[in-house]
Amino acid sequence: MTWSEVFDLLWVGLQETAWMVLVSTVLTAVGGLLLGVLLVLTAPGGLLSAPPLYSVLGLIVNITRSLPFIILLVAVIPFTRAVVGTTIGTDAAIVPLTIGAIPFFARIVEAALREVPNDVIAAATAMGASRGQIVGKVLLREARPGLAAGLTITVIALVGYSAMAGVVGGGGLGDLAIRYGYQRFETEVMVATVAALVVFVQLVQMAGDLLVRRLSHK
Amino acid sequence: MIEIKGLRKTYRSRGREVRAVDGVDLTVGEGDVYGVLGQSGAGKSTLLRCVNMLERPDAGTITVGGVDLTALNRKGLRLARHGIGMIHQHFALLSSRTVAGNIAFALEVTGVPRSARKERVAELIELVGLGGRADAYPAQLSGGQKQRVGIARALAARPQVLLSDEATSALDPETTDSILRLLQDLNQRLGLTILLITHEMDVVKKICHSAAVMRDGAFVESGPVAELLHRPGSTLARGLFPLSAPATLPGRTVVDVTVSGPDADTALTGLARNFDISLLEGSVETLAATRAGRWRIALPEDGTAAVEFLRARGAQVEAAA
Ligand SMILES: Nc1ncnc2c1ncn2[C@@H]1O[C@H](COP(=O)(O)OP(=O)(O)OP(=O)(O)O)[C@@H](O)[C@H]1O
Ligand SMILES: [Mg+2]
């Protein structure tokens, strides 16, 4: 294979990875924030304390998180067909990626919101803040640096998961590395792909760190 | 302004019961500065957190500005809380907002329209002496400055009552003084009623008109500071003027003397002119805007005449212990 062919492969793979990661990140951010906030609110002693609901949500989160991604990928195929209309390709891969990442990010959101000191929440309550104001103006706002750091971790985890998207024909850099490097022993392609992944992850981490620093006033 | 009757609050955790507040009655008059003293675990914070219903009491009523808070629904309570400011030991500021932003938060919560906020924020920043620091984040402020933000925020909605939970306990003595002076100034200028809890006698000495001593969830003594001083065996008197000189001397009668009012400055001179006494320990200070003195004095062996002399001048005399 010529370097120009390798480059073309990489370019397509990079676009596929970027697309999968981008869309699933956006969906995960929304879903994970909602689920994470719900966990914090319904936890015993929370603003909407509902221990049974909290236990059920926690169980669902834990089950999803304990499934190996490859099994989740296959298990959600009927759901994927219902949502995207197909079970193969990049768009089809986004569904399991998002489903796998939401509980992961939700736990990170939960942990980040718990970092907001109790006396800050008490102070807002004492001022007569409503529960909505406490969630929006205190919890989410104060936790922004932690949420940004958590989202960075999630994006990088999604890059990793997306390597397995090849199973449903999703493509992407990870799939490229597996197909060429592992199955066909095209070492150059594998090395180039892995290098591209390293650069990709590095850029994501740097952007994340920058954002955290901008948001943090500690 | 604040009226509490029969307040009880018990915490239950893992089968263990803690009676944090166990039958407290408390009245704080309008414009009063009322201090609640007590050791760690006495139930002071719990009492204070009941006053704005951060903790829901098990029994009793809490009336602030004529409104019974225990009878309100969620919405009513939120509105009532706008009239009750609170400041905290560890400031409890929003780290993601500037000084101006923290104060504005209190206005947002009370529904002050955006256009009116800016002016009020500037006014409050001046009021608490933070001019020029509007755009600083809490992490860039000293403890004293943070507490000033806390005070400005608490006053944003123009409350009639300010609750203070150990507001100066995390500050050094000089900063403590400046914060206490600010609170005193707010009390005098705005007629703000202040209920504060503390474990520092000095805070009571400097700004409180009335005080209570709390132990195991209940008040063991309470009333105007000047009056408490004269109560035989008062813990507060002993705390405000600790006397540690020997309580017995051979051939002498040792007594503890408490005087308040203008006589505080003259009683001792008069006594010394007429009797052979020695001052073992004590001082005269200004408490709740009145002069008060407390001394341990050695009188002659038969001290009856000297005691008569002192009592005739309104002094309270008790055997030293
Ligand atoms: N949320 C809670 N759950 C269980 N027990 C509690 C809770 N809050 C307070 N207590 C208990 O109630 C008692 C009174 O506590 P409180 O915080 O009111 O004391 P305090 O006088 O403010 O003490 P300190 O000076 O240390 O702040 C203590 O025994 C404490 O352990
Ligand atoms: Mg306390």
Q: Which residue ranges make up each domain of chain B?
A: 2-229, 241-319
Question: Of the candidates B160, B22, B174, B19, which has an alpha carbon nearest to the alpha carbon of residue B82?
Answer: B160
* Least reliable range by pLDDT among A89-93, A167-171, B238-242, B307-311: A167-171
Using the Cα atoms of residue B306, residue B310, residue B313 and residue B314 in order, give the sign of their dihedral: negative
Question: Does residue A128 sit at the B interface (CB-CB below 8 Å)?
Answer: yes
* A55/B265 Cα distance (integer angstroms): 69
Q: Determine which residue's CA is closest to atom 5 belonging to ligand 1.
A: B11
Q: Does B136 touch chain A (CB under 8 A)?
A: no
Which positions of chain A have pLDDT values less than 50? none
- Per-residue pLDDT at B236 exceeds 90: no
Q: Which of B195, B194, B193 is nearest to B214 (CA)?
A: B195
Task: CATH number of the domain at A133, please.
Answer: 1.10.3720.10
Q: In whole angstroms, what is the distance from residue B88 CA to residue B67 CA? A: 24
Please check the confidence at residue B15 and state whether its pLDDT lies above 90.
Answer: no
> Per-residue confidence at B239, pLDDT binned at 50, 70, 90?
confident
Closest-CA residue of chain A to B158:
A127
% of chain B beyond a pLDDT of 90: 70
| Interface residue of A47, A127, A141 to substitute, partner B, most B CBs within 10 Å | A127
Ligand 1 atom nearest the C-alpha of B48 is 18
pLDDT value of position B9: 96
pLDDT band at B152 (very low <50, low <70, confident <90, very high): very high
Q: A73-77, A102-106, B200-204, B289-293: which has the minimum mean pLDDT? A: B289-293
Mean pLDDT over the full length of chain B: 92
pLDDT score for B168: 93
pTM of the prediction?
A: 0.89
Q: What is the pLDDT of residue A149?
A: 97
Determine which of B83-97, B140-154, B189-203, B289-303 has the lowest per-residue pLDDT on average: B289-303
A218 has a chain B CB within 8 A of its CB: yes
Question: Residue with the nearest Cα to atom 26 of ligand 1?
Answer: B40
Give the model's confidence band at B195: pLDDT under 50 very low, under 70 low, under 90 confident, else very high: very high
What average pLDDT does range B246-256 have in this prediction?
A: 89
Q: What is the ipTM of this complex?
A: 0.87
A-chain residues near B79 (CB < 8 A): 128
pLDDT score for B260? 86
Pocket flag, ligand 1, residue B43 (CB < 6 Å) = yes
Residue B157: the pLDDT is 93
Best substitution site from B45, B90, B164, B200 to test ligand 1's pocket, by max atoms within 8 Å of Cβ? B45
Which residue, B211, B250, B245, is CA-closest to B231? B211
Q: What is the CATH number of domain B2-229?
A: 3.40.50.300
CB contact under 8 A, A218 and B95: yes
- Chain B hits for A115, Cβ within 8 Å: none
The residue behind tokens 């002069």 is: B291
Contact B86/A126, CB-based, under 8 Å?
Answer: yes
Alpha helices in chain A (DSSP H): 3-42, 51-66, 69-75, 77-84, 90-114, 118-126, 131-133, 140-142, 144-162, 173-176, 187-215
Which atom of ligand 1 sits closest to the CA of residue B89?
A: 27
Q: Is the beta carbon of B217 within 6 A of some atom in ligand 1?
A: no
Task: Indicate if ligand 1 lies below 6 Å from the C-beta of B20.
Answer: yes
Question: At CA B221, angle to CA B219 and CA B226, rounded to 5?
Answer: 140
- Specify whether domain B241-319 bears CATH 3.30.70.260: yes
Which helix (H) or strand (E) segment holds residue B77: the answer is: helix B74-81
Task: Please list, in sequence order, all residues whose beta carbon lies within 8 angstroms of the beta carbon of residue B278, skipping any fewer than 6 positions away.
Answer: B252, B297, B298
pLDDT at A193: 87
Q: Name which of B12, B105, B166 to mutate to probe chain A: the one with the most chain A Cβ atoms within 10 A of its Cβ.
A: B105
pLDDT at B233 over 90: no
pLDDT of residue B268: 86
Tell whether B153 is within 8 A of chain A (Cβ): yes
Residue B151, pLDDT above cutoff 80: yes
The pLDDT tens digits for B31-64 are 999 999 999 999 999 999 999 999 999 999 999 9
The count of structural domains within chain A is 1
Q: Domain residues for A19?
A: 3-216
Chain A contact for B199 (CB, 8 A cutoff): no
Q: Ligand 1 pocket, B199 CB below 6 A?
A: yes
pLDDT of residue B226: 83
Which pLDDT value is given to residue B245? 86
> A148 contacts in B (CB within 8 Å)?
none
Question: Lowest-pLDDT range, A99-103, B117-121, B180-184, B313-317?
Answer: B313-317
pLDDT band at B240 (very low <50, low <70, confident <90, very high): confident
How many angstroms separate the CA atoms of B296 and A5, rounded? 99
d(C-alpha B180, C-alpha B162), whole Å: 13
